[in-house]
Amino acid sequence: MTTEGGVQYSKIAEIKGPLVVVDDVENAAFDELVEIETTEGERRLGKVLEVGNGKAIVQVFEGTTGLSISGTKAKFVGKVMEMPVSKEVLGRVFDGLGRPKDGLPDPIADKFIDINGEPMNPEQREYPKDFIQTGVSVIDGLMTLVRGQKLPIFSGSGMSHNLLAAQIARQASVVGTQDDFAVVFAAIGVQYSEAEYFRRSLEESGALKRSVLFLNTADDPAIERIITPRVALTVAEYLAFDLGMHVLVVMTDMTNYAEALREISAAREEVPGRKGYPGYLYTDLSTIYERAGKLNGRKGSVTQVPILSMPSDDITHPIPDLTGYITEGQIVVGRDLFRQGIYPPINILMSLSRLMKDGIGEGSTRDDHSEVANQVYDAYSRSQEVRALAGIVGKAGLTEIDLKYMDVGDTFEKEFLTQATDENRTIEETLGLLWKIVSKLPKNEITKIKDKFVDQYYKEE
Amino acid sequence: MGQRHPLTSNSALETTIDKILNNTEKDILSNIKLALGESQQKLEDSIPKLESEYDKIISDGKKEADKIEKQIIGSSDIEARNKQLMILEEAVNRVFTKALDQIANADKSGDYSNLIKTLLDESTQILDTSEITVFTNAKDRDVVQSALSQFSGAELSPDTIDCLGGIIVKSKDGAMTFDNTIDARIERLKPLIRKDIASKFGVGN
């Protein structure tokens, strides 16, 4: 914080999309915060995107609607955008730019932190290996989330990913440790009703007191969305690395973020990349996703579950495609399962948690976890093949073992996958259900589990 | 048809009836025994199921109770914290108002002209020009006017501004403005001052 700064310039050369070009600017820095004052005295925030030749290009977060070249003033504040942080942010609701939205005053800040974050020293990074229980069986059992991981959820428009996001935010916890746990929830460009659902859902479940909400709704200016994940992650990093908490950051919907980025890129007349997204989309997304992790010698961790809706359910679309290169696996929400009314409709055959193997087993979940999960993956995959075959030859043409696999597939979807939105299953319950599915197979079909575990947990019906 | 002896015929009938009764009784008893056995077996078989149902109901009940407890505690904590924040904010605002009143009524002699010189110095450096127009409030016009003698190219605007003290400096081409009033400086420092005031109330330590 400085007592200086605050030179106001009144020569606006151009207003273009979300950008304002200011003339005769002597001193401005890249990313510097700018206060735009309209002729009516209304104030908006922006940041410097480019400086040089006496000009500064300012990106206005709240949009440029209503601004005019004459009468608009741009005050260069002399610092980058900062978020005031303290333990008091827990239980609070902010807008997409980090301003209180719950009718309470600004938090009394312990620190003001640059929202762009500080890159983690790769040498200081600690390998993520501790289990986070989400209470959602399919995630805990088959694509386990670990502290410090970034595990996105790929969904299609209109599917139940927001219900899942809220359920994870309500139920997530760290087991086997007394460490504090917090949830930072960033809603990016969601509908007002969805934002309200997230707020009410956390409030009514009592989870709000350990959560921080950032709500950028669809009617907020699109450009604000560029800031929302950064502000949320700044708070998450403070809670994790200054206060030693384990923080789960849920961000929905990253597609809206990428679209805001495309809007700025188009306004700057940059050469468009795939589907009009800027060429630096990968780099930009990585500056968000790479803020997840754990550091050697520090107690806390930042775990990310970004949610992104795939336009036309297309997993090869640039946003999920580039996200997939950065993150450690993905959870894919399936349209077929959604149509069948299954919740959560997660297609396990397209999903994967790359760090799962290090977060499960003896001392974390249970020693048989990895093997029973592999067996269920195998059995469900086989059941899908049998279903396809049944579609051609009919059920009568199937063998007895084929029918058993079909039964496994049905039980998996109806009893394991299907879960109420307020049902919080422990990892023991989840593993019990996995064994129930495995136990539908004859013992000689169980090839991926050690005999000692089969003897211990297999229960023939 | 010959006449039968009444006793003989009665006794045969009774014997038959007795037989039937015995057989029926046996049947009934055996059926009852069987049914009892079956019922006992069923009862025995259903005990583990009932026990597991019972355990499930108890565990579901506990889960629900835990959930409700968390909800109640969570919302009460939030409510209490929110009230505390509002009270604190009110107190901080009162401190601010009083402090600003005191600044407004403070005696502006002696060091105040040095402060104006410092503010002018700072402003010309930030704007990078001494070709400036200076604005101040009606009270401070004389002090600012005398300080301006040291800044060639600077002139005092005939218009006055409404502020506690200090100056606003504008480049003569009108392109740049720097607000160096006491009000603006306090506003810039407000987040830090709020923290200091809050710590006096024992918050944030």
Q: How confident is the model over A271-324, as pLDDT tens digits?
A: 999 999 999 999 999 999 999 999 998 889 999 999 999 999 999 999 999 999
For residue B72, which residues of chain A lie inside 8 Å, CB to CB?
Answer: 206
Domain count, chain A: 3
- Give me the pLDDT at residue A5, please: 57
pLDDT band at A28 (very low <50, low <70, confident <90, very high): confident
pLDDT band at B3 (very low <50, low <70, confident <90, very high): low
Domain boundary among A340, A358, A376: A358
Answer whether A26 sits within 8 Å of B176, measured CB to CB.
yes
Residues A41-88: tens digit of each pLDDT: 888 999 999 998 889 999 998 888 888 988 899 999 888 999 999 998
Identify the band that residue A100 occupies on the pLDDT scale cut at 50, 70 and 90. Answer: very high
Residue of B nearest to A111 (CA): B192
CATH code for the domain in which residue A294 is found: 3.40.50.12240
Check CB contact under 8 Å for B184 and A6.
yes
Which of B77, B82, B194 lies nearest to residue A104, judging by beta carbons?
B82
| The pLDDT of residue A449 | 94
- What torsion do the CA atoms of B39, B40, B44, B50 make, to the nearest 10 degrees? 50
The full 3-state SS of B84-147, as one line of letters, equals HHHHHHHHHHHHHHHHHHHHHHCCCCCHHHHHHHHHHHHHHHHHCCCCEEEEECCCCHHHHHHH
- In this structure, how many other beta carbons lie within 10 angstroms of the beta carbon of residue A274? 14
Architecture of domain B108-201 in this structure: 2-Layer Sandwich (3.30)
Residue A128, preceding bond cis, omega within 30 degrees?
no
Spell out the residues 6+ positions from residue B170 whose beta carbon is closer than 8 angstroms to its own.
Answer: B132, B133, B134, B135, B157, B176, B177, B178
Scanning every residue of chain A, which has its alpha carbon at the shortest distance from the alpha carbon of B174? A10
Closest by Cβ to A108, choosing from B75, B175, B194: B194
Rounded CA-CA distance A10/A63 in Å is 18
Task: Give mean pLDDT, residues B105-131.
Answer: 85
Residue A363 lies in a domain: no
Report pLDDT for A2.
39
> In this predicted model, what pLDDT tens digit does every residue of A338-371 receive, in sequence order?
999 999 999 999 999 999 999 999 988 999 999 9
At CB < 8 Å, which residues of chain A contact B? 1-11, 23-24, 26-27, 73, 84, 86, 88, 91, 102, 104-106, 108-110, 112, 203-209, 422, 424
Q: Let me know if residue A438 belongs to a domain.
A: yes
The dihedral built from the CA positions of residue A272, A215, A39 and B167, taken in this order, carries a sign that is negative
CATH number for the domain that contains residue A39: 2.40.30.20
* Domain range list for chain B: 14-105, 108-201
Residues in chain A: 461
Q: Which two tokens stand for residue A108?
A: 């009394």
Query: What residues in B contact A113, CB-CB < 8 Å?
Result: none
The continuous run of DSSP H or E covering A356 comes out as: helix A356-359
Task: Say whether pLDDT at A385 is over 90.
Answer: yes
What's the pLDDT band for A384 if we cut at 50, 70, 90? very high
A51 and A195 part of one domain:
no
Partner-chain contact A1 B189, CB within 8 Å:
yes
Disruptive mutation site among A27, A102, A108 for chain B (greatest number of B CBs within 10 Å):
A108
pLDDT surpassing 80 at residue A4: no
3-class secondary-structure state, position A330: strand
Query: pLDDT digit string (tens) for B47-78?
Result: 988 898 999 899 889 988 988 888 888 888 88
Q: Name the residue among A174, A305, A212 with its Cα closest to residue A250.
A: A305
Buried b (16+ CB within 10 A) or exposed e, A28-67: beeebbbbbbeeeeeebbbbbbebeeebbbbbbbbbbeeb
Write the residue in A2, A86, A205 that is nearest to B71 by C-beta: A205
Report the chain A residue with the minimal C-alpha distance to residue B93: A105
Rounded to the nearest 5°, which phi and psi values hold at A135?
80, 0
User: Which residues constitute the domain of residue A298?
Assistant: 83-358
Tell whether A147 and A216 lie within a shared domain.
yes
> B159: which 2 tokens?
């218009």
Q: What is the pLDDT of residue A1?
A: 34
- Model's pTM, two decimal places? 0.86
Residues A174 and A206 reside in one and the same domain: yes
Q: How many CA atoms lie within 13 A of B173 on its CB side?
A: 11
pLDDT at A3: 39
To the nearest whole Å, the CA of A103 is away from the closest chain B CA by 10
| Other CB atoms within 10 A of residue B55 CB | 10
| Per-residue model confidence (pLDDT) at position B9 | 65
> Cα A312 to chain center, whole Å?
20
Whether A34 and A132 share a structural domain: no
Residue B191 to residue A10, Cβ atoms within 8 A: no
End-to-end CA, chain A: 68
Three-class secondary structure of residue B19 per DSSP: helix
B168 DSSP β-pair partners: B135, B179
Residue A27 has pLDDT above 50, yes or no: yes
Q: Residue A327 — very low, low, confident or very high, per pLDDT cuts 50/70/90?
A: very high
Final residue before a domain boundary, out of A307, A331, A358: A358
| Boundary (domain end) residue, out of A29, A55, A80 | A80
| pLDDT tens-digit series, residues B157-166 | 999 998 888 8
Size of interface A-B (CB pairs under 8 A): 98
Average pLDDT value over all residues in chain A:
92
Percent of chain B whose predicted confidence (pLDDT) is above 70: 94
pLDDT at B189: 85
Residues A198 and A227 in one domain: yes
For residue B146, give how far its alpha carbon lies from the nearest alpha carbon of chain A (Å). Answer: 24
Assess whether A297 and A322 both reside in one domain.
yes
What pLDDT, on the 0 to 100 scale, is given for residue A325? 95
Q: What is the pLDDT of residues A119-169, one digit of tens each?
A: 889 999 999 989 999 999 999 999 999 999 999 999 998 899 989 989 998
Q: Do A98 and A211 lie in a common domain?
A: yes
Assess whether A163 and A254 both reside in one domain: yes
